[in-house]
Amino acid sequence: MSTVAMSSPAPKDDALSSQQRLLHALRDHRDETMNGASGLVVYRRNMAANAARVLGISFPTLRGLVGEPALPALAMGYLRAHGREVFDWGQWGEALASWLAEQPVARQYPYLADCARLDWLIHLAERSAPQAFMADAFAVPAGGSLLRLAPDFAAGAACLDSAFPIVSICRAHRQNPTAPDLSIARHRLLHGEGESALVWQRGGMAVLRAVEPPERVWLRFLDSPQVSIGDTLDWQRAGDAPFEQWLDHSIREQLIVGLRSPTITE
């Protein structure tokens, strides 16, 4: 759809300048000289409406915390700051949490940014390509050693540490969006209890659970793809879950979907 009609050819430089101004106005919503352009106001309204709808879908916990009526203003603020960086609306919002952490509302509700971060990780896990769970993915090559391999995590696997009970907050809003039971989250907030969230995809759906402290040491594999199982023997401390126990549990819940060679870094 063309938003600018020209009755005669314009010089190339002028045309490029006009396009740049139009893109600036559409993305940043700050070029007042373009306010009178035909169709631009309608286009911008549609973009703002789409942005609010997308935030509500991609960030359901945030939507529940701030309320549906606040989404348009939130979307417009983020749109002004970052524009529409990607064509696919489903990929829009990656920097929302960082932007939100700098807004005045974050001083009053400091857990909002981490809740948005968790929403985004769940969103990414849901959009990841499904990964089949196959028993032969755990086979050790002939003549090889298990210690030279590394766990292969399911699609979308990510861990997020927070000083706030983000898992409790997120679960409450996802289990009952209209009337979430935040009693557990409220208790943990009052007592300064944080939570670490673990997200991955299983059967085409995102899975969310809290990380148990004894297993936290083994989730370092997520941040260290270059290390092997043998390299991690000195990680375990008193109170940590034994590696064999954690691996067995992770395979059963399809967090670990196979074994792989460590990533070689230069």
Phi, psi of 187 (to 5 degrees): -60, -45
Query: Are 66 and 172 part of one and the same domain?
Result: no
Total domains, the chain: 2
pTM of full prediction above 0.85: no
Q: Is the pLDDT of residue 153 over 70?
A: yes
Is the Cβ–Cβ distance between 18 and 4 less than 8 Å? yes
With respect to residue 7, please indicate whether it lies within any of the assigned structural domains. Answer: no
Among 6-10, 50-54, 167-171, 227-231, the range with the most confident prediction by mean pLDDT is: 167-171
What is the residue range of 164's domain? Answer: 126-260
Q: What is the pLDDT of residues 116-126, one digit of tens each?
A: 999 999 999 99
pLDDT (average), residues 125-141: 86
Q: Is the pLDDT of residue 108 over 80?
A: yes
In the listed set 106, 140, 174, which residue is the last one of a domain according to the structure? 106
pLDDT (average), residues 187-191: 96
**Number of Cβ within a 10 Å radius of residue 213:** 11
Q: What is the pLDDT of residues 203-214, one digit of tens each?
A: 889 999 999 999
With respect to residue 22, please indicate whether it lies within any of the assigned structural domains. Answer: yes
pLDDT (average), residues 71-83: 88
pLDDT for 133 equals 78
Q: Is the pLDDT of residue 146 over 90?
A: no
Is 23 exposed, middle or buried (CB count within 10 Å of its CB: 0-12, 13-18, 19+)? middle
With respect to residue 237, please indicate whether it lies within any of the assigned structural domains. Answer: yes
Closest CA to 40 of 87, 7, 14, 3: 3
Query: Are 130 and 171 part of one and the same domain?
Result: yes
Query: Are 180 and 247 part of one and the same domain?
Result: yes
In the listed set 44, 76, 106, which residue is the last one of a domain according to the structure? 106
First-to-final CA distance of the chain: 47
In the listed set 72, 106, 140, which residue is the last one of a domain according to the structure? 106
Query: Are 219 and 247 part of one and the same domain?
Result: yes
Q: What percent of the chain has pLDDT over 70?
A: 82
With respect to residue 1, please indicate whether it lies within any of the assigned structural domains. Answer: no
Query: Are 97 and 153 part of one and the same domain?
Result: no
**How many whole angstroms separate alpha carbon 116 and alpha carbon 184?**
19
